[in-house]
Amino acid sequence: MVKSFEEAEIMAGKVGPKRISVLRAENREFLLALKESYRRGYVEPILIGDASKIREIADDIDFDISTFLLIDEKSQQEIADKGVRLVSEGKSDLILRGHIDGHYVYRALIRHSAQTGTRRQICVVALMQMPVLPKFIGLIDPGITVAPDFQAKIAIIQNAVDLFSHLGYENPRVGILTAHRRLNSDLDSVVDAMKIRDAHSRGELTGCIIEEGLCLSDFFLGKNGFLEDHENIDFSLIPDIILAHNIEFANIFSKLDSMSTIDYFPRWERHGIVMGADAPAIIPSRADKHDAIVTIIALGVLIS
């Protein structure tokens, strides 16, 4: 069971190398990350983008790319489409969003799954690591599904469960997070939670455990508990996978540390992985430098 990003970096070397389509590789941070990832045995890069720029930067950083497949393409959507197609042609195991805007990648993935008829719900799983928790958690879905109904939620959960099973979790615990307070209300999120639990007991959602609680107070304090003090909270009670009801909340949760990195949320680290397509797509954030990109490549290698 991989519990931390550091463990992922160690394991990826044993599982790799995997073939990775790099969408628009002409960027120094990405090429530095690929150089290191190649060295560690994580990946065999397939570089797609402006070939001459790629060669120039690779040269500059002393990265010998001569044995890699290099596909010359300048149009961003074409790059994304080619990268995705390589997976269905069996030539690539993993997709890396390089120096290209995320929406080209999402569009390519959605279009491709529509064409091939594999209409599975694609979603972003944000793996989040923070010192207060004993292991990272997977949050769904801060990036793609805006207001998933319960069927879409089941598909999203299954995606996250698949991801966690690749990381060695046998029956990951899924927490459906809602704004359930101790009063009567007809929250859609709670109604969906009941439907998801029913579907799970009928075997429509497999390989996971659905937690009893509906909110963090339930998970940490029990259904009728009250917070006495912070020091006695058992953080191992946090579910492995957390389903947020809508994208507004998922988005805030995934970046909540910005509200207070010093006082409350120090050293959060997060990496986004798109699941549900033919191969996982790793999406570094725009601010990620080469070291963070290496971490996310390691995660991608384990999941593919």
Partner 1 sequence: MQSFNDILGEAGKLTEQVMVVPDPRSERVLSAVHEAQQAGLIVPVLIGDQWSLNKKLFSMNIQTDGYRIIDEPDTSRALAKAIKLIQQKEADIIFQGDTEMEDFLQAVTNDTTGIATAQSLSYVSLFELPSQNRLILLTDTYIQEFPNVQQKITILNNAISLANSVGIETPKVAALSMVELVNPTFISTLDAAILSKMSERKQINAIVDGPLDIDCASSLERATRKRVQSSVSGEVDIYLFHDIESGYSVTELTVFLGKASAAGALLGSDIPIILNISFETAYSLLVDIALARLRKQ
Q: List residues near partner 1 by CB under 8 A.
A: 130, 132-133, 142, 146, 177-179, 181-185, 187, 189, 215-217, 220-221, 225-230, 233, 244-249, 251-253, 255-256, 258-260, 262-265, 287
- In the complex, minimum distance from the CB of residue 213 to partner 1, in angstroms, rounded to a whole number: 11
The nearer residue to partner 1, 60 or 248, going by C-beta atoms, is: 248
Nearer to partner 1, 243 or 297 (CB): 243
Of the two residues 178 and 304, which places its CB atom closer to partner 1 in the complex? 178
Q: Based on CB atoms, which residue is closest to partner 1, 10 or 194?
A: 194
Q: How far apart are CA 115 and CA 288, in angstroms?
A: 32
CB of 128 to partner 1, least distance (A): 10
Minimum distance between the CB of residue 260 and partner 1, rounded to whole angstroms?
6
* Minimum CB–partner distance for residue 156 and partner 1 (Å): 16
Q: How far is the CB of 99 from partner 1 (least distance, A)?
A: 16
Q: Which is nearer to partner 1, 69 or 187 (CB)?
A: 187
Shortest Å distance, C-beta 147 to partner 1:
10
**CA–CA dist 263, 257 (Å, integer):** 10
Long-range contacts of 51-60 (CB under 8 A, 24+ apart): 53/26, 54/25, 54/26, 57/26, 57/27, 57/28, 57/31, 58/31, 60/28
C-beta closer to partner 1: residue 160 or 297: 160
Nearer to partner 1, 207 or 266 (CB): 266
C-alpha to C-alpha distances, 294 to 40, 46, 96, 239, nearest whole angstrom: 10, 16, 11, 26
Taking the complex as a whole, the smallest distance from the CB of residue 184 to partner 1 amounts, in Å, to 6
Q: How far is the CB of 270 from partner 1 (least distance, A)?
A: 12
Q: Which two tokens stand for residue 73?
A: 């393409």
Could you tell me the two tokens for 215? Answer: 């909110």
For partner 1, the closer CB: 60 or 264: 264
